[in-house]
A and B are shown apart, each in its own frame.
Chain A
Amino acid sequence: MKSIKQIKGKALPLGLSNVDTDQIAPSDAMKFSKRGNFSDFLFRDWREDPEFVLNQPEYKDSVIILAGENFGCGSSREHAPWALQDYGFRAVVAPSFGDIFKNNCSKVGLVTVEVSETTIEELIRLVNENPNIEFNIDVEYKKLSCGSFEIDFELDDFTRYRLINGLDDIDLTLRDENLINKYEKLRPNYLPRMSLQN
């Protein structure tokens, strides 16, 4: 994972609530065995509507999505954050997120910022007023700004540390391999095991 300290750029005022993973990346994306570019899958069905916000030229090159509550609810597919990243998005700002989606984002380095409903409404208003208004999400100092508007957001220290240092979870876990070995020895015998295949 690459180190992420700051995200600067334009924002897309999506606004809808309960945007599910099947809209973000339809199940067709999951058929592919290779990690190609999934940007064509992002909101594929909604993009057929010329009125859809992603099709509006003034929001071209946005790097942040402004969404309603429970963004990314539904499936565990990591293709959802992949599709967003491949399209060029680097952060999503919403009042709340689907748990698994949020977790997946933290693994791939897509930043999720939780703000109140009123803040989202205010941010969307500012973007509607001026689509070119520049956002700055500072991961290190946990601040979001947009024009003269500025707000602190919550981000747990560990996720922040991982993001700004671009750390791999497996390496971090295996620093404690001796503890895993110790735990494994004490597991009860009745727990299920499959016979080894090789």
Chain B
Amino acid sequence: MTNPKTLFDKVWEKNLIRSRSGKPDLLYVDFHLMHEVTSTHAFNMLRQMGRKVRRPDLTIATMDHQVPTTNLDQPIKDQIAAEQMNALKKNCTEFGITMFPWGSNEQGIVHVIGPERGLTQPGMVIVCGDSHTSTHGAFGALAFGIGISEVAHVLATQTLPQRKPKTMAVTVKGKLPKDVTAKDLILGIIQKIGTHGGVGHVIEYRGEAIRALSMEGRMTVCNMTIEGGARAGMIAPDDVTFNYLKGKPNAPKGEEWEKALEDWSKLYTDEGAIFDKEVIIYASELKPFVTWGTTPAQSITIDSTIPLPKNKTEEKALEYMGLKPGMRIKDIEVDAVFIGSCTNARIEDLRAAANVAKGHKVKDSVRAIVVPGSMKVKKQAEDEGLAKIFIDAGFEWRAAGCSMCVGMNDDVLKPEQRCASTSNRNFEGRQGKGARTHLVSPVIAAATAIKGHFASLSDLNKEVSTK
């Protein structure tokens, strides 16, 4: 019998063009996703070198990082952003690449539109000039973020020289408690392994609690893999994956579907395969998490208090966040709530938040915005009546984009404003200079918008039952 292999090994070997000792392996890239921000420089590099795009048919582009999420009928005010968006349009036309511009029905965050079109499939190698490319690993693909020089390399060659990373298994045993979501699970994992626990590794998420997640939940988990230091996270495909893909516009059809299914069914870690590192998480011990600091690993459960700082870096984080040890999380008031981003702006996330918001009103002191991950998600949420729930409750209902997650359009906070955010990074200045970001799940975000301070669903129910 051949040596048992991990899911990662199988995908790596499948896409390996050459391997020579002392040199990085050369991998074939099955699909390359682009957005307006990192692509411009890459196209410029390509022109400087006088090179062409090798496979324009294996590339798509969209505008997401800095698109306005309001007034889509008006010209964009930010001239620097407009210049970059026009550059993408021009570059894609020149090099023959499919592009979904701002305002089109197919536009959206790059990591939302890949899966929703069925472009993200098991076993593929997918790259994008964005660190949250790890999202696509939820389908059993090997997907990771690359820099601008690498984007140019992929455009020119459809390949990437890569050193083979190590493997790390994160096994989540048991079942998640009822009020604990995929977002809480990944925040819990990052808290356990730390922001650099996964550096140099590709993570495979395994175990009962992972299997029980929907595709949306799996994408949330894989999305934040990079916050634990690993460039890619993977989940072996199963019926949940296949059912999600079936019938999607770019998924295989007819006989091709049958062939694909046969290949995809072999993509799992063989029994006895060895990982370089293993971590076990017990799902039943998890609770809803809120971050208190300026790294995604600085988190605590919603019912606890701000911890004592352990070092200079933590002291700096608390100072930036305007928090003191001993404060109860649920006593902390927020100025803003952001429901959106490639982590938590898919239809299931919006359903979860709307379910909490239904029949309630956003607290007067809070500005709450909902930014769907794609224009398709927006349309679906409107068709399902979710948009109406949000609007009736006092949330702003926006068009698709990265918005307040990356703070490159008008959706930014003022210094010292505090935000409960379903996004992925609570770095200093991420949502605007001096802004204070707390990462939470869509459920906690919605409940917090209503109460005006960090709250969970049970805090709202209590209120309802005592009325």
Q: Which residues of A contact B (CB under 8 A)?
A: 16-18, 20, 22-23, 26-28, 30-35, 45, 68-70, 73-78, 96-100, 103-104, 107-108, 156-158, 168-170, 172-174, 176, 179-180, 183-184, 187-198
Which residues on B sit within 8 Å (CB–CB) of A97?
A: 199
Chain B contacts for A196, CB-based, 8 A = 56-57, 96
Which of A68, A104, A179, A195 is B147 in contact with, Cβ under 8 Å?
A104
Q: What distance in Å separates the Cβ of A88 from its nearest Cβ neighbour in chain B?
A: 21
Asked whether A23 lies within 8 Å of B313 as measured between CB atoms, the reply is no
B263 contacts A by Cβ under 8 Å: yes
**Main secondary structure on A side of the interface with B:** loop
Cβ of B235 within 8 Å of any chain A Cβ, yes or no, is no
Query: B13 at the A/B interface (Cβ < 8 Å)?
Result: no
B313 touches A173 (CB 8 A): no
CB–CB A70/B199 < 8 A:
yes
A22 partner, pick from B49, B145, B229, B428, beta carbons under 8 A = B428
Q: Taking A30-B38, A75-B131, A180-B17 as contacts, is the C-beta distance between A194 and B157 under 8 angstroms?
A: no
Q: Which residues of chain A are near B433, meaning CB under 8 Å?
A: 45
Chain B interface residue count, CB cutoff 8 Å, equals: 89
Q: B107: CB under 8 A from chain A?
A: no
Q: Is the CB of B295 within 8 A of A18?
A: yes
- Cα–Cα distance between A180 and B41 once the two chains are bound (Å): 25
**Across the interface, do B66 and A31 meet the contact criterion of CB distance under 8 Å?**
yes
Cross-interface CB contact of A173 among B59, B119, B130, B159, cutoff 8 Å = B159
> A197 CA to B28 CA in the complex, in Å?
22
Interface residue from A31, A187, A193, A198 paired with B408 (Cβ < 8 Å): A31
A-B contact pairs, 25 of them (CB 8 A): A16-B313, A22-B427, A27-B408, A28-B408, A32-B80, A70-B196, A70-B229, A74-B131, A76-B38, A76-B131, A76-B133, A100-B147, A100-B226, A107-B149, A107-B150, A157-B22, A158-B24, A169-B161, A170-B51, A172-B161, A176-B17, A180-B157, A188-B263, A192-B119, A197-B97
Q: Given that A169-B161, A179-B17 are known contacts, is A100 also in contact with B146, CB under 8 Å in the complex?
A: yes
- A-B contacts counted at CB < 8 A amount to 202
> Is the CB of B425 closer than 8 A to any CB of chain A?
yes
Known contacts: A76-B146, A98-B229, A157-B22. The answer to whether A23 contacts B157 by CB under 8 A is no
What string of 1s and 0s marks CB contacts (under 8 Å) between B185-206 and chain A?
Answer: 0000000000110011000000
Once the chains bind, are A173 and B231 in contact (CB under 8 Å)? no
> Which listed residue, B97, B149, B427, touches A108 by the CB 8 Å rule?
B149
Does B457 touch A at the CB level, under 8 Å? no
Nearest A residue to B133 via CB reads: A76
Q: CA–CA, A188 to B130, complex, Å?
A: 27
Cβ contact within 8 Å between A76 and B96: no
CB distance from B394 to the nearest CB of A (A): 28
Query: Are B40 and A180 neighbours in the complex by a CB distance under 8 Å?
Result: no
Contact in complex: A190, B256 (CB < 8 Å): yes
Q: Which of A30, A45, A73 contacts B429 (CB 8 A)?
A: A45
Q: A170-B152, A170-B157 are in contact. Are A156 and B408 (CB under 8 A)?
A: no
Contacting residues, chain A, for B446 (C-beta < 8 A)? none
Find out whether the CB atom of A169 lies under 8 angstroms from the CB atom of B59.
no
Q: Is the CB of A197 within 8 A of B18?
A: no
A109 to chain B, nearest CB (A): 10
Report A-chain residues with C-beta under 8 Å of the C-beta of B408: 27-28, 30-31
- Interface readout for B119-133 with A: 1 if CB under 8 Å, 0 if not? 101001000011101
Those of B210-266 within 8 Å (CB) of chain A: 226, 229-231, 250-252, 256-257, 259-260, 263
Q: A23-B427, A96-B199, A189-B256 are in contact. List 19 more A-B contacts (CB 8 A).
A: A18-B195, A18-B295, A22-B428, A27-B407, A27-B408, A30-B65, A73-B195, A96-B196, A104-B149, A107-B147, A169-B149, A170-B51, A170-B157, A173-B153, A176-B18, A179-B17, A194-B58, A196-B96, A197-B97
A96 CB to nearest B CB, Å = 6
Instruction: Kindly provide the distance from the CB of B354 to the nearest chain A CB, expressed in whole angstroms.
Output: 29
Contact between chains at A17 and B23 (CB < 8 Å): no
Find out whether the CB atom of B65 lies under 8 angstroms from the CB atom of A22: no
Contact B28 A76 (CB under 8 A): no
Q: Which of B28, B31, B124, B165 contacts A180 (CB 8 A)?
A: B28
Residue of A nearest to B297 (CB): A18
Distance A72 CA – B18 CA, assembled complex (angstroms): 30
For A73, give its contact among B24, B119, B229 (CB under 8 Å): B229
The answer to whether B81 and A193 touch across the interface, beta carbons within 8 angstroms, is no
If the complex has contacts A26-B429, A31-B80, are A78 and B256 also in contact, measured as CB distance less than 8 A?
no
Docked Cα-Cα span, A158 to B21, in Å, equals: 10
Instruction: Determine the chain A residues whose CB is within 8 A of the CB of B343 once the complex forms.
Output: none
Q: Is B60 an interface residue (CB 8 A)?
A: yes
B93 CB contacts on chain A under 8 angstroms: 197-198
Residue of B nearest to A15 (CB): B312
In the assembled complex, how far is the CB of residue A9 from the closest CB belonging to chain B, in whole angstroms?
25
Return B259 CB to nearest CB of chain A, in Å: 6
Are the CB atoms of B37 and A30 closer together than 8 Å? yes
| Shortest distance from the beta carbon of A168 to any chain B beta carbon, whole Å | 8
A130 CA / B196 CA spacing, docked (Å): 31
Q: From known contacts A70-B195, A190-B259, infer whether A99 and B157 are also in contact, taking CB-CB under 8 Å.
A: no
